[in-house]
């Protein structure tokens, strides 16, 4: 039925189509039409509704352009195998099962929409259709399990640098890996891993970038804390270009990391950080720590100096600036 409704709107693009006309031509009730329009909205179609005029199709969801994506890929390994889906629960779940069936390093899972996008600390990740980059990347670094935080920070650096290259926005990293523009979150990273004999067997780097969301695409409770690249740059961003740039940046930094260790990545992270050298409040699993965010150590932990001069290492938590 959703297909037939769309066909009807496509007969006269730009024009309003009344509920009465849809109901008559498709032989369905007005309540059913409303339900289908809501379904289409959830799938990324934008409709304007005007009293006495009906509905107007304002925009269709952006769809991944596979050929364009693959043609512009400048990497050797990352993204050389891409799996693209419409709606999934979470690209992380798909990537885990692809690894179980032998997917190699560099495999990329992309989805138009996620119904159960996962964020850090058990939170949900808002992933509406066609508006963002919701992707999971398979990595197989044979490094000790306790190096995971370093990979998280590396991902944040790659993401931040690629966004800087593609969009004109002033973006920075909040420890450990939130990307902020004017204090609002635009992108998040979630690394999930499996280990064997104290070494990482594989890592799934889950990346969410809010690319072309408009203010209305966010639920009320997110509007104060979240934003998108389009909102901040004032222009729509080509998702394919950003994925290509991110993978290239990631591949280069990853090679540097495997060769030289974390030190060069740490310097890059520090240069992009909006957290260091300022007072912060950290919510950790062991309680709240207030103090001055002094530095990042080689394991990726944040050193906080409290009012009484005590130095505390924070390994995981949420920061309030």
Nearer to ligand BTN, 117 or 291 (CB): 117
Tell me the residue number closest to ligand BTN, measured at CB.
188
Our finding on whether 206 is near ligand BTN (CB under 6 A) is yes
Complex with ligand BTN: residue 93 or 291, whichever CB lies closer: 93
DSSP 17: B
User: Minimum Å distance from CB 91 to ligand BTN?
Assistant: 4
Contact status, residue 167 vs residue 245, Cβ threshold 8 Å: no
Task: Choose, by CB under 6 A, the member of 22, 78, 135, 169 that binds ligand BTN.
Answer: 135
Q: Say whether residue 90 binds ligand BTN (CB under 6 A).
A: yes
* Candidate list 44, 117, 300, 317; residue touching ligand BTN; CB under 6 A: 117
- Candidates 37, 154, 171, 190; binder of ligand BTN (CB under 6 A) is 190
* Residue 91 in contact with ligand BTN, rule: CB under 6 A: yes
Q: CB-wise, 118 or 266, nearer to ligand BTN?
A: 118
In whole angstroms, how far apart are CA 286 and each of 33, 255, 289, 321?
51, 35, 9, 19
Q: Report long-range pairs for 243-246 (Cβ below 8 Å, ≥24 apart).
A: 243/69, 243/79, 243/108, 243/110, 243/133, 243/135, 244/69, 244/72, 244/73, 244/74, 244/75, 244/79, 245/162, 245/165, 245/166, 246/158, 246/159, 246/162, 246/207
Taking the CA atoms of the chain, what radius of gyration do you get in angstroms? 22
Structure tokens at 281: 């409040």
Interface ranges with ligand BTN (CB under 6 A): 90-92, 114, 117-120, 123, 125, 127, 134-136, 178, 188-190, 206-208
Provide the annotated binding site for biotin: 114, 118-120, 185
Provide the annotated binding site: 114, 118-120, 185
């Amino acid at each position: 039925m959703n297909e037939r409704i769309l066909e009807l709107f496509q007969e006269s693009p730009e024009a309003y189509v009344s509920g009465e006309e849809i109901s008559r031509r498709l032989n369905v009730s007005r309540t059913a039409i409303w339900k289908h329009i809501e379904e289409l909205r959830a799938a990324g179609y934008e409709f304007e509704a005007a009293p006495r005029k009906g509905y107007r199709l304002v925009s269709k969801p952006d769809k991944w352009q596979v050929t364009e994506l693959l043609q512009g890929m400048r990497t050797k390994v990352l993204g050389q195998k891409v799996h693209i889906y419409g709606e999934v629960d979470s690209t992380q779940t798909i990537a885990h099962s692809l690894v179980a069936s032998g997917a190699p390093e560099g495999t990329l899972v992309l989805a138009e929409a996620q119904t159960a996008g996962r964020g850090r600390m058990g939170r949900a990740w808002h992933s509406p259709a066609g508006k963002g980059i919701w992707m999971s990347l398979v990595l197989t670094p044979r490094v000790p399990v306790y190096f995971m935080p370093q990979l998280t920070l590396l991902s944040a650096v790659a993401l931040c640098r690629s966004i800087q290259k593609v969009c004109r926005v002033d973006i920075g990293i909040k420890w450990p890996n939130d990307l902020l523009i004017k204090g609002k979150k635009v992108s998040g990273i979630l690394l999930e891993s499996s280990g064997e004999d104290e070494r990482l067997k594989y890592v799934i780097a889950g990346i969410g970038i809010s690319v072309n969301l408009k203010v209305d695409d966010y639920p009320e409770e997110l509007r104060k804390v979240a934003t998108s690249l389009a909102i901040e740059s004032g222009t729509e961003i080509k998702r394919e270009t950003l994925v290509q740039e991110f993978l290239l940046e990631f591949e280069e930094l990853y090679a540097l990391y495997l060769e030289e260790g974390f030190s060069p990545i740490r310097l890059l992270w520090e240069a992009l950080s909006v957290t260091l050298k300022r007072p912060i409040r950290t919510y950790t699993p062991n309680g709240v720590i207030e103090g001055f965010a002094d530095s990042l150590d080689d394991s990726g932990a944040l050193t906080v100096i409290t009012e009484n001069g005590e130095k505390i290492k924070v390994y995981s938590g949420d920061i309030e600036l």
